Amino acid sequence: MAQYKAPVRDMRFVFHEVLGLDAHYQNLGIEEVNGELVDALLEQAAKFAENELSPINRSGDEEGCTFNDGVVTTPKGFKEAYRKYVEMGLPAMGGPAAYGGQDMPGSASIAISEMTGTANWSWGMYPGLAHGALATIEEHGTQQQKDTYLPKLISGDWAGTMCLTEPHCGSDLGILKTRAEPQADGSYKLYGTKIFISGGEHDLTDNIIHIVLARLPDAPAGTKGISLFIVPKFIVNADGSLGARNPVKCGSIEHKMGIKASATCVMNFDGATGYLIGPPNRGLNAMFTFMNFARIGTAVQGVCHAEAAFQGALTYAKDRLAMRSLSGPKNPNGPADPIIVHPDVRRMLLTTKAFAEGGRALLYFTAMTGDAVKRAKTEEERKAADELLGFLTPIAKAFLTEAGLESANHGVQVYGGHGFIREWGMEQNVRDARISTLYEGTTGIQALDLLGRKVLQTQGAALRTFTKMVHKFCQENANDAAMKEFVEPLVALNKEWGDMTMAIGMKAMQNPENAGAAAVDYLMYSGYVTMAYFWARMAKVAQEKLAAGNEADFYDAKVKTARFYFKRILPRTASHKLAIEGGLECLMDMKVEQFAF
């Protein structure tokens, strides 16, 4: 099994050379963070991911979590790795300084999430969920709630979860049944069952803070009647110490296809004490803080699985001998040529490389946009950043996870039969990747969010914000002969994107089901064009560096990968456009009774 090697050089390339991290921080007035500090953090996190997490990835998958009467035990090495993670101060990076955090922008930690996730996605889910609970309480909690929960969440001493899904409802939260009954002291008693709760119970921390959706007795029906509650595993005393065990208990853990070392729990709330967070019946609005955080976190997962597939497949393709090159032997002294010389193996390797590196650029840009949402100097700038982030989030979550899953499958294929065998790690990568297109909103739900809420409901305003960025880049490089192969197709697709959106909007006015029929193809089209923009930006920087005589192999590889993306992957947009034009009727004409076997 190939050991993970953190791609620190490429991370620095994206942050510093493509996205201008130092200038970004200066524009936001962030004086305490700079590129040098981020680089130091990358080196520190890379060692942790490579030396502590990667070695327990396969063993964690094989051992899995164990369940015994409500108690969940994580695999060997997980608890020790978590302790080291806390000792390094990594959980505290993004927390507010007033509660013991380092108050660093989200972009400073996104690469660390990528490294821990690629090395061991199951392990990385535990601290990742705590960050979402922290952000929700920080934004919507009372001062007392912040004082009670933030210090321990920030330090990593306590973990967090979000509890949404119930046995009878998945993404349709409007029909959830968990109820919250008011108590005389201002608290609530929660009754109900939640399922698919990642990290709902484990042995890594002393306390787990559940962020729970439930209904008040007089709540209106549907999503307008949902409230949000803090439900700790252990009640926290006034002095901050842990008190009585709250009656919220893990009823079982799921036996899953992948991410087996991440506990996915059924959680039973049997009169558990909870505390209202935010206004009554406005819980879903507050929960979106957690959900949006989680969606970006899941977008990270797509990049992780693409990177893991690329690293594993590349190592194997260089060593594995099979057949001769069609153009003549490339390893004449051996019995066969290494499979990396064969065009189809190159196709798969370059696809995983293009998705991993292009996804990294999109992901880091999204994180930097998130910085501006919180820290931009004017309300106008913060609002503009928020609209852009809202547009990019469903693309990042859905497109990058679909690309990550495709890449994971390519990783298996490069290995051939060996890819189907556990010891190489590629089949685990596929199993772990499969969930990414499902949780935090399936690809279809993200597509409806993108096309329906973010594009059509804004009359295309959110789309135009991004396409203007693309247009500006293309204008600036219109006379650069070396960029012609990237700029010309990007200009055409940028225009087509707008025209296609208008056509979908016109059909949706006649019948809203037309939007649903087009949504997934629209999202994938949008993802390919968005990634093309970032590959064009990377190609531009690489060409300039080559002209200056810098790191020829690294920068030349960037240009060649960009060329591959534009010539062999970007044309997929044409099939998605044709599928959209295929319309609604062919999907809906068949009667339900005709779906027979």
What does the pLDDT look like over 102-159, one tens digit per residue? 999 999 999 999 999 999 999 999 998 888 899 899 999 999 999 999 999 999 999 9
**Residue 384 domain-assigned (yes or no):** no
What's the rounded Cα separation, in Å, for the pair 93 and 101? Answer: 6
Residue 170 pLDDT level (bands cut at 50, 70, 90): confident
Query: 400-415 and 513-547 helices cross at what angle (nearest 10)?
Result: 70
Are 389 and 373 within 8 A, CB to CB? yes
Query: 240-270, pLDDT tens digit by residue?
Result: 999 999 999 999 999 999 999 999 999 999 9
- As a whole number, mean pLDDT of residues 190-211 equals 97
Are 265 and 202 within 8 A, CB to CB? no
DSSP, residue by residue, 300-352 = HHHHHHHHHHHHHHHHHHHH-B-S--TTS-SSTTSSS-BGGGSHHHHHHHHHH
pLDDT in the model for residue 54: 98
Q: Residue type for 57, please? A: N
Residues 583/584/585/591 CA torsion (nearest 10 deg): 150
Residue 169 pLDDT level (bands cut at 50, 70, 90): confident
- For tokens 């779906």, the residue is 595
Full residue range of the structural domain in which residue 492 is found = 459-588
What's the rounded Cα separation, in Å, for the pair 22 and 15? Answer: 9
Q: Measuring CA to CA, how many Å separate 248 from each of 73, 136, 517?
A: 17, 20, 41
What's the rounded Cα separation, in Å, for the pair 133 and 198? Answer: 13
What are the residues whose beta carbons fall under 8 Å from the beta carbon of 10, sequence distance 6 or more? 357, 360
**Residue 491 domain-assigned (yes or no):** yes
What are the residues whose beta carbons fall under 8 Å from the beta carbon of 274, sequence distance 6 or more? 180, 187, 188, 189, 190, 212, 214, 229, 230, 231
What's the rounded Cα separation, in Å, for the pair 97 and 111? Answer: 21
Residue 60 pLDDT level (bands cut at 50, 70, 90): very high
Q: Residue type for 147, please? A: D
Query: 404-456, pLDDT tens digit by residue?
Result: 999 999 999 999 999 999 999 999 999 999 999 999 899 999 999 999 999 99
pLDDT in the model for residue 530: 98
- As a whole number, mean pLDDT of residues 450-478 equals 97
pLDDT in the model for residue 291: 72
pLDDT in the model for residue 1: 66
- For tokens 């004086």, the residue is 31
pLDDT in the model for residue 96: 92
- Catalytic sites, residue numbers: 440
- Which percentage of the chain shows pLDDT scores above 70? 99
Report CA 221 to chain centroid distance, whole Å: 31
Q: Is the pLDDT of residue 53 over 70?
A: yes
pTM of the model: 0.97
Helix (H) or strand (E) holding 157: none
Query: 179-189, pLDDT tens digit by residue?
Result: 999 999 999 99
**Residue 498 domain-assigned (yes or no):** yes
Q: How many domains, the chain?
A: 1
- As a whole number, mean pLDDT of residues 497-521 equals 97
What's the rounded Cα separation, in Å, for the pair 367 and 344? Answer: 34
pLDDT in the model for residue 32: 87
What tokens appear for 465 in the block?
């914000």
**Residue 28 domain-assigned (yes or no):** no
Q: Is the pLDDT of residue 66 over 80?
A: yes
pLDDT in the model for residue 65: 98
Closest to 554 (Cα-Cα) out of 400, 414, 357: 357
Q: Measuring CA to CA, how many Å separate 515 from each of 198, 395, 453, 464, 573?
A: 32, 16, 11, 19, 18
Q: Is the pLDDT of residue 559 over 80?
A: yes
- For tokens 């189809």, the residue is 344
The per-residue pLDDT of the chain, averaged, comes to 96
**Residue 94 domain-assigned (yes or no):** no
What's the rounded Cα separation, in Å, for the pair 403 and 471? Answer: 25
Residue 290 pLDDT level (bands cut at 50, 70, 90): low
**Residue 497 domain-assigned (yes or no):** yes
- For tokens 């787990």, the residue is 208
- Which percentage of the chain shows pLDDT scores above 90? 93
- As a whole number, mean pLDDT of residues 183-199 equals 97
pLDDT in the model for residue 539: 98
